[in-house]
Amino acid sequence: MTALLYYLTYFGVLVACGLGLPIPEEVTLIGAGYASYLGKTDVLLSIAVCSAGILAGDTCLFVLGRLFGLPLTRRWPFRRHLTPERIERLRAAYARYGARLIFLVRVVPVVRAVAHFTAGTLRFRYGTFAAMDGLGIVLTVPVSVWLAYTFGSQIDDVTRWIQRGNLTVTAVAALALLVLWLWHRRGVRAAAPVPAPAPAPGAPGVASPSASRPGA
């Protein structure tokens, strides 16, 4: 198996993962790093190819959402994950957090697919989408591939480290969403108009209670 075939396999599998193939991205990333450890491929080129494959898969969902919109969710195989309830929740989240949500959901498997499709239906600019998604890719893909490459002799331990790392990143992303939500609520409350105090009786322009009674 030549190095080119390895790279094509990485790219194809990761694009398919982006479109809903039920295989965790981390399986391919760990495999790519381990193949580099064995001398089959170049580790830096593997990182680049894997990153491009993930971005391409995410872009496919974004473009499908932009071109076909919600009617596509009623067709197989999209209706399995792109449910109306999930899309409505993601739309509400985008209304609160904007494009930052694309970055925050990068490590949440099912949610990120729905988020990418929903971003397309909301007609985000592709440059904004690619920048936020690319930032998440740059912060996660090299770590997974490099760990498997560097510690290839301990591949089982590396797999556990990456799984724990993904859980940590997910927890951090959830915490960031909570902070953003609290900040948003605080801003809404601060912007709410404060009702003016009721004028005291006898003030200019305000009739006193005795003057308003007939015969007073």
Three-state SS annotation for the chain:
CCHHHHHHHHHHHHHHHHCCCCCCHHHHHHHHHHHHHCCCCCHHHHHHHHHHHHHHHHHHHHHHHHHHCHHHHHCCCHHHCCCHHHHHHHHHHHHHHCCHHHHHCCCCHHHHHHHHHHHHHCCCCHHHHHHHHHHHHHHHHHHHHHHHHHCHHHHHHHHHHHHHHHHHHHHHHHHHHHHHHHHHHHHHHHHCCCCCCCCCCCCCCCCCHHHHCCCC
The pTM score is 0.71
138 has pLDDT over 90: yes
Q: Which amino acid is at 127?
A: G
Residues 202-213 have a mean pLDDT of 51
CB-based burial, 58-73: b 16+ in 10 Å, e otherwise: bbbbbebbbeeeeebb
Among 18-27, 33-42, 122-131, the least confident range: 18-27
CA 209, CA 183: separation in Å to the nearest integer?
45
More confident residue, 184 or 118: 118
Check residue 54 and give its pLDDT. 96
Residues 175-185 have a mean pLDDT of 54
30 has pLDDT over 60: yes
Check residue 76 and give its pLDDT. 82
Q: Which amino acid is at 46?
A: S
Among 4-18, 71-85, 181-195, the least confident range: 181-195
27 has pLDDT over 80: yes
More confident residue, 60 or 22: 60
CA 196, CA 186: separation in Å to the nearest integer?
21
The mean of the pLDDT values for the chain is 80
The domain segmentation of the chain, as residue ranges, is 3-190
Residue 137, token pair as written in the block: 């890719």
Residues 35-51 have a mean pLDDT of 95
Check residue 120 and give its pLDDT. 95
Query: Cα-flanking dihedrals φ and ψ of residue 129, to 5°?
Result: -60, -50
CA distances 31 to 14, 34, 100, 146, Å, are 12, 5, 30, 11
